[in-house]
Amino acid sequence: MLWDKQDRLKPDLAIIIAVAVLLVYGLMAVYSATQSANPIIQNNFGKQFIWMLVGIIVASTIMLIPFKFFYDQAYLFYAVAIFLLILVLIIGGGTGVKRWFYIGPLRLQPSEFAKLATLFALAKYASGQQRDMNNLRDLAIAFLIVLVPTLLIIKEPDLGTALVIMAIVLPVLFWAGLSLFTVFVLLAPLIVMVSAFTFTSFFIAMVTITAVMILSGRGPRVIIPNFLLNIFVGIMTPMLWGNLHAYQRSRILTFLGIEKDPQGLGYQVLQSKVAIGSGGLWGKGWTEGTQTQLRFLPEQHTDFIFSVVGEEFGLFGVIVILLAFLVILWRALNIAADSKNAFAGLVVVGSVVILAFHVLVNSGMTVGVMPVTGLPMPFLSYGGSAMLTNMVIIGLILNAGIRKFNYV
Amino acid sequence: MRSVQGFGRHKLLIFRILLILSFAGLISRFAYVQLIESERYTRESEKNRIRPITLEPPRGIIRDRYREILVDNLPAYSVFAIPRELTRRDTVFAALAKIINRQPASLEKIFRRDRRGPFQRVKIARHIGFQALAHIEENKLELPGIVYGVDPRRYYPAGVRAPHLFGYLGEIDEKKLAQMREHGYERGDVIGKTGIEYIYESVLRGKKGFRFVEVDALGREVTVLSGLGEKPAVPGKELHLAIDAELQRHLERIMEDKRGGAVLINTDNGEIIALASKPDYDPEIFTKPISSKVWNALRDNPDKPLYDRMVRSHVEPGSTYKLVLAIAALEEGIIDGSETVYCPGAYRLGRRVFKCWKKGGHGTVNLLQAIEGSCNVYFYRLIQKVGLENWVKYSRKFNFGKTTGSDLYSEFPGLVPDAAYFDRKYGKGKWSKGLLLNLSVGQGDLLVTPLQMATFAMYIANRGLGFRPHVRKRIVDPVTGDEEYAIPDTVRIEGISERTWDIIHKGMFNVVNAPGGTAKGANPGRVHVAGKTGTAQNPHGEDHAWFIGFVPYEQPQIAFCVFVENGGSGGGVAAPIIRSVLRLLLRQNKILIPQTVVAEE
């Protein structure tokens, strides 16, 4: 049976409407971004439309599969994903990178699949009967589950997707019971690392971290080692950094998306800001954006699709889209909180993180507050693989919503 | 699976707070950029006046086998509108319409149909006159948003008309655009519609390029910018045809007052060296916008000049087709050629009388004499022995009933009727032997094209070896000078004995060279021609005249077919055309005279 009697096929209407709004905006933006002028980019509207239809079918199908299936197969999916990630490093194609399998006209990206498979495996592990996330061994294994695919994806290299997978860990484990204090302890060295380059920022960071630890009421046996560790990290980071060759440093900065202009990224962001800024409150009108139509925007139908929205639909369009995303994320969190099935709840939380990460990083990039990492905007950017993954995610969220009173 | 009991609501609260904070931050950033900084960025965007301009590649020119230019490009001008700059459309279109002599409404219609974004130029009129061009230039200020550009058209400097061969160009239509978009075609692009312009579109077209230009506030180009990734256009490749322009001109001239056509094929490789279909029309007509008056006159002309008779005439081959029956009879061992038949001038089958074309009859004839004199009675009798099945088998063997696979536009396959066909047409078993007798002399339901008959002549000339007929000789890259030749596809007719070929060749030799031959008028002197005439009866008027064959007899180099609609007899009308053509070729030493013939002289 696809679902039990007590389930009523009542998917969350607010989420469906919000997704529909995004898809309509996305199609309009892709149409505008690819319709004219440059002979290099042809009209991708038709393809995107077909991907959208396929995506809707996929989302509907995913919605009907009992969650137990994903639970039971989670580790199998994970194993397949790891296998594919290794395989793509050996036989994958792409110029200078190994991210895709080419099967006829199709280009498959195993990291998209790995994203979801890792989430399933992590959720299954964390929702296990005997697990305690505050136990060091269980915590380490949970991290390991995420670390393996992350490293393989970094090797491709596909930093954007690797960051998305890493971003899942703490929120999911926190939801599964990891204490807020442990989350803080885990984040502290990262904060220190970033702040360690000037003495003032390092000092402020250390004071804050130590204060929080003392206020948390933990004893010196916890506080002192942590304090020493963070001091150590803070001193070592600039030293190690100084020992690196210039090209290594540059590579890391580019890798992190911090360094401006390795290939004219600064120019891209500037043109994107010009597009969005000149759009004003109401925008220049559909297909009337000068930046878009004259192709000043880089990758305007993929990574920078949101700049097209900003230019042609203005702040109004931007807010409609961001609110639509907020509705999806908000409702999804409610579903996760209501879900009687811990595994489903964790999968939904992970899905929320994946979507939110894409939205924040992508739209932030277009106005220069986030690095250019090449993460597409869900439902808006042109691209089949991403469309399918996002539709699967929506299917999972709706699925959990329908079955939130089920224990299995 | 473990279930969550008494879920800690504080976690949800933390997630909600993070979500709200990050989205609020994001929206305020956008609000800052789009409201407070909007003015600054709007100024910036107005400074972005770099426009990509498409560079059209020159279309490949077409030459003959000796590299004489047959089809060239001539500069012509088209008018474009830039939507963004076209602020007063009504008045501008009204003024422009007056200058270029169009209706403002039609300009408006084209503009609306083809408008794609504010900066895409819309081609609203093609090939305007120089007078109009000067007017537009003078009134530039009254015509904001209107620009003109070079948009070359074809012209035909060689005096070779051959409009069916060349075909013509036109603006791509919506259906084609949908298919070709991924090959870089855009609305308003010109594409080959028929003929070799269509068949060799991908060769002739070249590749579009683009470059970036800076424009002023009115959208006029100020400077060309380099270093922004410009890409020059790649010119289309030259297509060199196997056509011999001099021969072609001569052929067109002598066929001028005829309805029909002629084709000559190089038997060494299947090259079509001349090809005429008459009546035709001046190919220049289609290089300019064509008025409906001219078009209707062409379309409704009873002589059908638009129709390519070489590949689209579906006609009965007449007596030329007796050769197929003769080969079938010899190969199936039904006759050995020495048997004789008495021809009294008619043949009676049941209550019907089938006439021979020669009123007094041929007397007693064997196979060779029957071919030479084209005796119908001989073949009436022969097909009854051979039977429909064998006749169909050999017709198919020679690839009748299907296209020759040439690179000519829209070839028809013709029709070889078989028992199933007759059953369908007349009802099972309801058709008589009389149909068979008609087929024996190339009449009845049998349909061929002149190109098929010329190809058939090539198979005979080469004793079974043929080539896919083609007009392409070489493709030349105008930039590098690289020349590209294609190896001709061979088509071998298997299983016909040398003896059979000898008899057929001899028979065809006699048609032109023996005292009783039907095509003595084809003899140009200096070389021996072998051929077969045909005079196909036609219920709608005079007979259709046919003449097929090859030359020189001893060492074939050229196979030919002449077809004249309602021309009369093959020997009387079609054969002299071949004589005239061969005389020209001999004068120019383009036929190698075989040693044996030289010795005879």
**Residue ranges in B200-344 assigned as alpha helix (H):** 201-205, 245-254, 292-300, 309-312, 322-331
Judged by CB atoms closer than 8 Å, whether chains meet at A39 and B119 is answered as: no
Query: What's the pLDDT score for residue B554?
Result: 94
Three-state DSSP class for residue B335: coil
> Could you say which of A277, A294, A345 has the minimum Cβ distance to residue B40?
A277
CA dihedral defined by B338, B340, B345, B350, rounded to 10 degrees? -120
Residue of A nearest to B39 (CA): A278
Measured distance CA(A351)–CA(A99) in Å, rounded: 22
Evaluate if residue B329 carries a pLDDT over 90: yes
Angular region, B281: left φ>0, alpha ψ -120 to 50, beta rest: beta
* Among the listed residues A322, A278, A268, the one whose alpha carbon sits nearest the alpha carbon of residue A300: A268
* Among the listed residues A57, A52, A54, A108, the one whose alpha carbon sits nearest the alpha carbon of residue A81: A108
Q: Which residues of A touch B120 (CB under 8 A)?
A: 36-37
Asked if the interface predicted TM-score (ipTM) of this complex is over 0.95, the answer is no
pLDDT digits (tens, 9 = 90+) for A265-284: 566 788 888 889 889 899 88
> Could you say which of A36, A291, A319 has the minimum Cβ distance to residue B27?
A319
Q: Which residues of B touch A273 (CB under 8 A)?
A: 33, 37, 41
Task: Note which residues in 51-70 of chain A have CB less than 8 A from chain B.
Answer: 68
Structure token pair of residue A248: 């290594």
Buried residues in B19-38 as b, exposed as e (16+ CB within 10 A): beebbeebbebbbebbeebb
Query: What's the pLDDT score for residue B187?
Result: 76
Structure token pair of residue B585: 């070729």
Is B115's Cβ below 8 Å from some Cβ in A?
no
What helix, strand, coil percent values describe chain B, rounded to 5?
A: 40, 20, 40
Task: Report if residue A264 sits inside a domain.
Answer: yes
Task: Report if residue A2 sits inside a domain.
Answer: no
Instruction: Please name the residue that has the structure tokens 């990178």.
Output: A97
B404 φ, ψ to 5°?
-75, -10
Judged by CB atoms closer than 8 Å, whether chains meet at B34 and A341 is answered as: no
pLDDT digits (tens, 9 = 90+) for B461-512: 999 999 999 999 999 999 999 999 988 899 999 989 999 999 999 999 999 9
Q: Which amino acid is at A264?
A: G
Q: Can you name the residues that pair with B561 across neighbouring β-strands?
A: B263, B548
- Beta strand B62-63 with B238-241 is parallel
Is A274's Cβ below 8 Å from some Cβ in B?
yes
> Could you say which of B2, B11, B184 has the minimum Cβ distance to residue A342?
B2
Which DSSP category does B554 fall into?
S
Number of A–B residue contacts, CB under 8 Å? 152
Is A370's Cβ below 8 Å from some Cβ in B?
no
Q: Can you name the residues that pair with B416 across neighbouring β-strands?
A: none
Task: Report if residue A139 sits inside a domain.
Answer: yes
Structure token pair of residue B531: 């051929």
**Residue ranges in A96-198 assigned as alpha helix (H):** 110-126, 136-155, 159-175, 180-195
Number of folded domains in chain A? 1
Three-state DSSP class for residue B332: coil
Going residue by residue through chain A, which has 408 residues, state the pLDDT in tens, using 9 for 90 and above: 454 555 566 788 999 999 999 999 999 988 888 775 444 445 578 888 999 999 999 999 999 999 899 999 999 999 999 999 999 888 876 666 677 777 777 778 889 899 999 999 999 999 987 888 888 889 999 999 999 999 999 888 788 888 899 999 999 999 998 888 888 888 888 888 888 878 888 888 889 888 888 888 788 888 888 888 888 888 888 888 877 777 667 666 655 655 544 445 566 788 888 889 889 899 888 887 777 776 667 677 888 899 999 999 999 999 999 999 999 999 999 999 988 899 999 999 999 999 999 999 999 988 988 877 778 999 999 888 899 999 999 999 999 998 877 765
Structure token pair of residue B334: 């039904």
Q: What is the per-residue DSSP string for B506-553? A: HHHHHHHHSTT-TTGGG--SSS--EEEEEEE--TTSSPEEEEEEEE-S
Three-state DSSP class for residue A242: helix
Measured distance CA(B284)–CA(B168) in Å, rounded: 9
Is A313's Cβ below 8 Å from some Cβ in B?
no
Structure token pair of residue B525: 């002197």
> Could you say which of B15, B50, B210 has the minimum Cβ distance to residue A294?
B50
Q: Which residues of A touch B33 (CB under 8 A)?
A: 273, 276-277, 367
Find the distance separating the first CA and the last CA of chain B, reported in whole Å. Answer: 108
Q: Which residues of B touch A187 (CB under 8 A)?
A: none
Structure token pair of residue B517: 């031959």
Q: Which residues of B touch A38 (CB under 8 A)?
A: 52, 210
Cis peptide before A157 (omega within 30 of 0): yes
Three-state DSSP class for residue B472: strand
pLDDT digits (tens, 9 = 90+) for B205-244: 999 887 777 765 555 666 666 666 678 889 999 999 999 9
Judged by CB atoms closer than 8 Å, whether chains meet at A280 and B37 is answered as: no
Measured distance CA(A165)–CA(A159) in Å, rounded: 10
Least confident range of B34-38, B200-204, B325-329: B34-38
Task: Note which residues in 158-187 of chain B have CB less than 8 A from chain A.
Answer: 181-182, 184, 186
Task: Report if residue A273 sits inside a domain.
Answer: yes
A315 in Cβ contact with B35 (< 8 Å)? yes
B166 in Cβ contact with B195 (< 8 Å)? yes
Task: Report if residue A407 sits inside a domain.
Answer: no
Total residues belonging to chain A: 408
Domain of A246, in residue numbers: 13-402
Task: Report if residue A8 sits inside a domain.
Answer: no
Task: Report if residue A166 sits inside a domain.
Answer: yes
* Among the listed residues B236, B164, B156, B238, the one whose alpha carbon sits nearest the alpha carbon of residue B472: B238
**Residue ranges in B265-375 assigned as alpha helix (H):** 292-300, 309-312, 322-331, 367-373
Q: How far is A335 from chain B (nearest CA, A)?
A: 11
CATH 3.40.710.10, applies to B245-283+309-600: yes
Which DSSP helix (H) or strand (E) runs through B275?
strand B272-278
User: Strand order in B260-266's β-sheet?
Assistant: B272-278, B260-266, B558-564, B544-551, B530-536
Among the four given CATH numbers 3.40.50.150, 1.10.357.10, 3.90.1310.10, 3.30.70.1520, the one describing domain B76-150: 3.90.1310.10
Residue of B nearest to A123 (CA): B1
Judged by CB atoms closer than 8 Å, whether chains meet at A315 and B35 is answered as: yes
Q: Distance of CA A253 to CAs A16, A98, A360, A370, Å?
A: 39, 21, 20, 14
Mean pLDDT score across all residues of chain B: 89
Structure token pair of residue B42: 């709007």
Q: Can you name the residues that pair with A346 across neighbouring β-strands?
A: none
Is A175's Cβ below 8 Å from some Cβ in B?
yes
* Among the listed residues B159, B191, B196, the one whose alpha carbon sits nearest the alpha carbon of residue B272: B196
Q: What is the location of CATH 3.90.1310.10 in chain B?
A: 50-75+152-241, 76-150
Please, is A53 exposed, middle or buried when counting C-beta atoms within 10 Å of its C-beta (0-12, 13-18, 19+)?
Answer: exposed
Is A134's Cβ below 8 Å from some Cβ in B?
no
Which DSSP category does B576 fall into?
H
Measured distance CA(B344)–CA(B361) in Å, rounded: 4
Which DSSP category does A341 fall into?
B
CATH 3.90.1310.10, applies to B50-75+152-241: yes
Judged by CB atoms closer than 8 Å, whether chains meet at B2 and A128 is answered as: yes
Task: Report if residue A232 sits inside a domain.
Answer: yes
Residue A324 CA from chain centroid, whole number: 17
Is A187's Cβ below 8 Å from some Cβ in B?
no
> Could you say which of B45, B50, B186 has the minimum Cβ distance to residue A274?
B45
Q: Which residues of B touch A314 (CB under 8 A)?
A: 34
Judged by CB atoms closer than 8 Å, whether chains meet at A294 and B16 is answered as: no
Structure token pair of residue A34: 């690819």
Instruction: Please name the residue that has the structure tokens 């939205």.
Output: A359
